[in-house]
Amino acid sequence: MRKTIIAGNWKMYKSPKQALDFAHSLSDIEPNETVRVIVCAPYLALPLLKEKVTLPLEISAQNVHQEEEGAFTGEISASMLTSIGVDITLIGHSERRQYFGESDDVVARKVRRALSHELDIILCVGEHLEQREAGEEESVVSNQLKAALSGVSKEEMKSISIAYEPVWAIGTGKTASSEDAQAMGSHIRKELISLYDEETSSACSLLYGGSVKPENIDELLAQPDVDGVLVGGASLDPESFRKLVEAGNRK
């Protein structure tokens, strides 16, 4: 059975100490067995979090470089992440695509590199506002999926969750309606059947992201093809994040 995933993306917020304080204040959370609770922390906070924080809070990177190693100033490789015990990473977040020029091809190479180091992946896809207004959201997401998953085997799909994050809903306060989130979840599910098979598709956790908060999470998680959420702003405050975890337990 696929897992419910409550994932926080802290973006470029929180020093290592602030990250650890957050984790300590959530040390009493009790997610159900079917719920995974993940924070995607800034690189600098990862070593301290991996050293001090235990399950049920899982620690993820926000990005990984596509090459094994080399002259890539300022970048972090998959083997550097695994060397400190990090075993999850986001890939293809829209802010990486938008501000750091990550193309579908780069995203695909990151996916393959992360898989070769046995990292779990939360792969982000989603359309821009103009694309939705032009009715292109499904084709945009299909193309992003086909590109990112090219060369990824059925077996490897067990390590991948997919986060649908419409770019127009990220950090804007505008949430996709639960119907829109479900419609895209169902579309992604069908796309995974055509790329793989029914079993692979139904085992893959599908997340929605874009201005999720305690007030709207229940309605989103009530949708059959919304298995979890990827949350930016509302994941920064421990009490708000706690409410998101509690909502995960109600799914």
Name the residues that contact ligand PEP, by CB under 6 A: 9, 11, 165, 170-171, 209-212, 230-234
Closer by beta carbon to ligand PEP, 156 or else 217? 217
Stated as kind and residue range, the H or E segment containing 229 is: strand 228-231
Residues 209, 163 contacting (CB under 8 angstroms): yes
Residue 165 designated active-site: yes
Catalytic residue among 95, 137, 156, 165: 165
Please provide residue 130's backbone torsions phi and psi, each rounded to the nearest 5 degrees. -60, -35
Q: Tell me how far apart the alpha carbons of residues 81 and 195 are, in angstroms, rounded to a whole number.
A: 29
**Catalytic, out of 93, 95, 137, 191:** 93
**CB-based closest residue to ligand PEP:** 232
Smallest gap, in angstroms, from Cβ of residue 90 to ligand PEP?
8
Residues comprising the chain, all counted = 251
Q: Which is nearer to ligand PEP, 123 or 156 (CB)?
A: 123
Minimum distance from CB of 25 to ligand PEP (Å)? Answer: 20
User: What is the nearest approach in angstroms of ligand PEP to the Cβ of residue 168?
Assistant: 10
Is residue 24 among the annotated active site residues?
no
44 with 74: CB under 8 angstroms?
no
Q: In angstroms, give the least distance from the CB of 47 to ligand PEP.
A: 22
Q: Which is nearer to ligand PEP, 185 or 232 (CB)?
A: 232
Count other C-beta atoms under 10 Å from residue 31's C-beta.
Answer: 18
Tokens of 59: 């620690």
Task: Convert 101-134 to b/e letters by CB count within 10 Å (16 or more is b).
Answer: ebebebbbbbbebbbebebbbbbbbbbbeebbee
Pick the closer one to ligand PEP by CB: 31 or 209: 209
**Active site residues per annotation:** 93, 165
